[in-house]
Amino acid sequence: MTYYFEDFKVGDAWEFGAWSLTREELIAFAREYDPQPIHTDDAAAGRTAFGGVIASGWQTTLKCIRLFVDGLMRETAGLASPGLDELRWLKPVRPGARITARATVTEVGESTSRPDRGRVHFLISGVDESGEPVMTAKGLFFVARRPRRG
């Protein structure tokens, strides 16, 4: 099954399952990509209002993106994404927190220049166990139109 542009409608929604991080995974990611003490140094982080290390917002984002790719984009005739808008890290994510990845279609549209594709806009989010978003982002993807049979 491959999803094409015509298959996406405003309001379509998915829940992709959940992820969580151990303290070690959280620190290892931050050491490689975002080495700030709030993410890498338990003692220094313990002296802040957060009371201990919190996940890099980039790791939170990528864990949700991975589930979005696995759960939807790998079966979609996606052509490219020019980027994301309004990436927001709304709540600290601590080791052991269970975060559910979701996506909703917020807008679909014709391509202004390419008749073979359309635009699909998603709101991608990670939601904690109290139901509050820890991360949201608005993603735009170009998706191929369904090939004509004939």
Q: What is the binding site for its own copies (CB under 8 A)?
A: 32-36, 57-58, 61-62, 65-66, 69-70, 73-74, 78, 81-90
Residue 84 Cβ, how far from its own copies at the closest point, in Å?
5
Looking at beta carbons only, is 73 or 120 nearer to its own copies?
Answer: 73
Helix (H) or strand (E) holding 68: helix 57-71
Distances 9 to 66, 118, 119, 127, 136 between C-alpha atoms, Å: 22, 12, 11, 22, 20
Q: Which is nearer to its own copies, 11 or 20 (CB)?
A: 20
Greatest Cα-to-Cα distance within the chain, rounded to the nearest angstrom: 67
DSSP-assigned letter for residue 95: T
Q: Which is nearer to its own copies, 35 or 51 (CB)?
A: 35
Min dist CB 38 to its own copies, Å, is: 8
Provide the minimum distance between the beta carbon of 150 and its own copies in the complex, in angstroms, as a whole number.
23
Kind of pairing between the strands at 13-19 and 99-110: antiparallel
